[in-house]
Chain A
Amino acid sequence: MTRLGLLAAGFKRHRLRLLLTGLSIVVAFLLFGVLVAVRQAFAAGVSVAGRDRLVVRHRISIIQLLPESYEAEMEKLPGVVDATPASWFGGIYQDPKNFFGQFPVKPEEYLRMYPEFRLPPEQKAAWLATRTGAVAGRKLADRFHWKVGTRIPIQPTIWIPKKDSSWQFDLVGIYDGAQKETDTSRFLFRQDYFEENRRFASGMIGWYYIRVADPKRAAAVAQSIDDHFTNSSAETKTETEGAFAQGFANQMGNIGAIVTAILSAVFFTILLVAGNTMAQTVRERTQELGVLKALGFSNAEVLAMVLGESCLLAGTAGLIGLGLGFALAAGGDPTGGYLPNFMFPAKDLLLGAALILLLGVAAGALPALQAMRLRTVDALRRE
């Protein structure tokens, strides 16, 4: 037997209690996984917003349309490198429950604006060659098991097509995100097809994305765009993509923060119970700790052993829980489309690990220190 062996032997004690405590910790960290995924989901795109991208929308209301002539005007303004339009299509795919964002865009420009959307060159070429062509993000395509070549009919709600009763698209490409957090739930199709096939609002689009030359001057450029269109028929409101996403998040906002707070409370409650049990186990071993000290183990050595046990338990169970939470979150949006950003951000793994360590140390150290303060002779005398 080695010191480590002595440590491991400790786990033979109260196997059932160990298992139950371990399971509580697993559940607690599984919940942690859900928590961070929910928080991420409600943070809706703020973290991936481009630092050099702006969003230009109608000042009065997001649902008001802007003239497509604005594109050329804005590109002439100082500080503006590129401008491209997008609109809200809002159609239904098979069932209203299959919700996802559909956007008519100008392919070349849009892909330039979103370099983090990676589309293979041959697929891009196909998109440019096919009028009814559409490109979907990886997450979206996986959700409905679409492959390149699938025909995708979409029922209109706002935009009635000139011919037929529904819009027919051909999936010519699937884009992947440069990072894990990149939004790959979008459905993109061609602006010219949209323009020629819709019955009204000709020449109008939903909003613009702007790329600025210098991110540090983003606010100034935004102001200059709005100033340019003041007193025109369609006044604009321009802000950074991050601010735009934050505004959206704030509209969802309350709920996200509340759910996060609630989950935190649950998480800490479970940990409290588990921690208490672990601490109790240590307290029950006061007599054994006394024996070890009588045999000549120093205070520090005994403390280290106790801490080692509690950290090993917390660590094993905690890592399993984190792993399960990670896997669960990787399964994607459990609400079927309403929370596309539901995922476990890698940086929160560090937070989880820190909490595991905290649990192990707190559960073991506090009662061990208490036991340590007892005189060896008193500890020995305990039942």
Chain B
Amino acid sequence: MFRWFSQVAALTLFNLKTLPQRLGSVAAAVVGMAGVVAVLVGVLSIQQGFRRTMAVSGAPDVALVLRGGSDGEMTSILGRDDVRLIAEGPGLARDSTGALASPELFVIINLPKKSTGTDANVPMRGVTPAAFGVHDQVKLVEGRRFEWGRNEVIVGRAAQGQFRGLDVGSQLHLGQNVWTVVGAFTADGGLPESEIWTDAAVLQPAYRRGNSFQSLKAKLVSAGSFQRFKDALTADPRLNVKVQRETEFYAGQSRALTAIVTILGLIIGILMGLGAVFGALNTMYTAVAARSREIATLRALGFRSSPVLLSVIAESIALAALGGAVGALGAWLAFDGYQAATMNWQSFSQVAFAFRVGPALLLLGLFYALALGLVGGLFPAIRAARLPVATALRE
């Protein structure tokens, strides 16, 4: 048994020692594999990053209430009475100001993007004091909070980075109204960071919304109280509402982009994998052919077939692992944390997010490379082991 292993090891080492002679094709194979892995990781990191933004935006102990049948905040409407009734629901956490139920107004304004100078849709949210209690991940990092009743706004850090004219101290001219930016906030990288916040009471008249809101976000005593809260509201004949966990809601919000990236990622991944397999097969067949005489000599000398087979596969996997590692590392360096923004179709406005290359994704890339290396080495290995020694020696 040990002899067998040492044969495999000896052969593999022998194979690897001949690498410098085949540097051209080896380099091509490694580069090819690196490219495949880097791209796979890169494309999926878009989806991972976007998902993370969505996941971080919601909390499992926050319930989101919309009008029944609504798809999102834009198409929902909640009247003042609705809001009062909802705030009386069971299971709500409370603080000194009362129930942590935050009715919110959601509109879109147009601001020029820093990157292109063209206009893009920016979400603007009108809130009440309870909002800061419900969205406890929101932290002020610059300036101060807006004063209630005044035309003042605070902007999310990500929005600041994406759009012109959102520095603290600047003024926003929206139609007849002028708003002053008095502060900036972060929200753990979640959606609120792409938004502009202000007093709902000032936003409503500016947009002629009367006393109505669009959504209500309520902080529950615990994640477990959700069902009780939901049942109470849906059973109430005076209300026509849709109740979800905030996390559920945001998961649904990433539908469009997730669909695009996942499907494109699949197509790309499959095609790339095919290309990589053909490339790997080519490289390994060439490698085997180039050394068929040496391999045959070894077999004539007494090395058995299976160590030969395994050494070829081992080499293929080793090269693939190298390429995969290079590609994964490259992707991590290039993509992790890369700031991008895209259209969130559900809210019809810009959402900023960062590409995310997590350990799981890196491992996926590496496994993919190893799998490709295995496939790429298998058939050439079988051929190398099966070739009649006499024929090979003559070549």
Contacts and interface: CB of A to CB of B under 8 A. Distances in A.
Q: Is there direct touching of A and B in the complex, by C-beta distance under 8 Å?
A: yes
Interface of A: 14, 16-17, 20-21, 23-24, 27-28, 30-31, 34, 38, 59-64, 90, 92, 96-97, 99, 155, 157-158, 235, 237, 243, 246-248, 250-255, 258-259, 262-263, 265-266, 269-270, 272-274, 276-277, 280, 334-336, 338-339
Contacts of A280: 24-25, 286
Contacts of A24: 275, 278-279, 282
A250 B118 contact: yes
Nearest first, the 5 closest Cβ-Cβ pairs linking A and B are A269-B35, A276-B28, A27-B275, A273-B279, A273-B32
A60 B109 contact: yes
Q: Which of A17, A23, A90, A254 has the most CB of B within 10 A?
A: A254
Q: Is the interface of B mostly helix, strand, loop or mixed?
A: helix
Contacts of B281: 20
B377 interface: no
A246 B117 CA distance: 11
Interface in B169-185: 174-175
A60 B282 contact: no
Given A27-B275, A31-B272, A258 B75 contact: no
A335 to B, nearest CB: 5
Given A266-B35, A273-B282, A255 B340 contact: yes
Contact of A254 (B43, B264, B341): B341
B282 A20 contact: yes
26 contacts: A16-B285, A20-B279, A30-B271, A31-B268, A59-B110, A62-B108, A63-B107, A90-B75, A92-B71, A155-B69, A237-B110, A250-B115, A251-B120, A251-B121, A251-B342, A253-B115, A254-B340, A266-B275, A269-B32, A269-B34, A273-B275, A273-B283, A274-B282, A277-B282, A334-B263, A335-B259
Given A31-B268, A258-B46, A334-B264, A157 B75 contact: yes
B348 A273 contact: no
A266 B265 CA distance: 12
Given A60-B175, A157-B70, A258 B110 contact: no
* Interface size of B as a range: 35 or more
B375 interface: no
Nearest to B177: A60
A234 to B, nearest CB: 8
Contact of A252 (B107, B268, B279, B343): B343
Contacts of A276: 24-25, 28
B271 A31 contact: yes
Contacts of B283: 273, 277
A320 B164 CA distance: 47
B42 A253 contact: no
Interface string B262-278: 01100110011011101
B256 interface: yes
Given A62-B108, A253-B115, A265-B35, 17 more contacts: A23-B274, A31-B272, A34-B271, A59-B175, A61-B108, A63-B121, A243-B118, A250-B113, A254-B115, A255-B342, A258-B340, A262-B39, A265-B39, A274-B282, A276-B28, A334-B263, A335-B263
Contacts of B259: 97, 335-336, 338
A259 B43 contact: yes
A157 B66 CA distance: 12
Contact of A335 (B43, B107, B260, B350): B260
Interface in B111-132: 113, 115-116, 118-121
A8 to B, nearest CB: 22
A270 B207 CA distance: 54
A333 to B, nearest CB: 9
Interface in B235-283: 255-257, 259-261, 263-264, 267-268, 271-272, 274-276, 278-279, 281-283
A60 B110 contact: yes
A106 B279 CA distance: 57
A20 B275 contact: no
Contacts of B24: 276, 280
A207 B20 CA distance: 66
A157 B174 contact: no
B31 A250 contact: no
A177 B152 CA distance: 48
A259 B256 CA distance: 16
Contacts of B154: none
B196 interface: no
Contact of B282 (A21, A31, A62): A21
Contacts of A92: 71
Contact of B256 (A59, A63, A99, A277): A99
B29 interface: yes
B275 A270 contact: yes
Contacts of A90: 75
B282 A17 contact: yes
Contact of A338 (B25, B75, B256): B256
B275 A28 contact: yes
Contacts of B39: 262-263, 265-266
A243 B340 CA distance: 22
A21 B107 CA distance: 55
Contacts of A259: 43, 264
B31 A266 contact: no
Interface string B14-44: 0000000000110011011011101100110
B140 interface: no
Interface string B283-315: 101100100000000000000000000000000
B107 A251 contact: no
B345 interface: yes
A34 B343 CA distance: 22
B371 interface: no
A44 to B, nearest CB: 10
B202 interface: no
A157 B74 CA distance: 9
B282 A255 contact: no
A62 B121 contact: yes
